[in-house]
Amino acid sequence: MSNTTDPNAILATLYRENHRWLRGWLNRQLQCPQDAADLTQDTFLRALYSRQLEEIQEPRAFLGTLARRLLCNFWRRRQLERSYLEALVLLPDNCVPSEEDIALVREAIEAIDQLLDGLPRRARRAFLLNRLDGLTQPEIAARLGISLATVERDLRRAYLHCLTYPEQP
């Protein structure tokens, strides 16, 4: 892509040459200019932290891949929020959490989602069933239709993933 090895210069060129295209593509996917702008910036941040800037041969393919991953996370978070809000409607009035509590839960959901990003779907699901729903390993095996050994392997993988999660700014 560029003959410089300075990540900031490479990112500046990548941004200048592809920002408008990426934002337009995301806007078509989301039908919301604000969300598209946010995900565009998140995509370029991911590009910066990818440690692959010097190796990019096809910038739009690279950015598109990052953006699709972020878009999947975005839709998944939206679905989690929607499910949470639907559950809140069913609560009696005296049990409804405050706006501050809702914001804290939303923040926690996003942190968990980010922490589990990159795990295979089954391992993620097994981990959430165990940690959030309190299901035992045999119950998870029955629910997912897999062996107990597979549940144990998936949970081990999820725990190791969480323990080795890199801190990002």
Domain boundaries, the chain: 1-93
DSSP summary character for residue 98: P
DSSP letters, 110-163, are: HHHHHHHTTS-HHHHHHHHHHHTS---HHHHHHHHT--HHHHHHHHHHHHHHHH
- pLDDT (tens digit per residue) in 138-158: 999 999 999 999 999 999 999
- pLDDT (tens digit per residue) in 85-138: 788 788 887 887 888 988 888 888 778 877 888 888 899 999 989 988 889 999
In the block, residue with structure tokens 């593509």 = 25
Q: Alpha-carbon dihedral of residues 105, 107, 112, 113, nearest 10 degrees?
A: 110
In the block, residue with structure tokens 């323990």 = 163
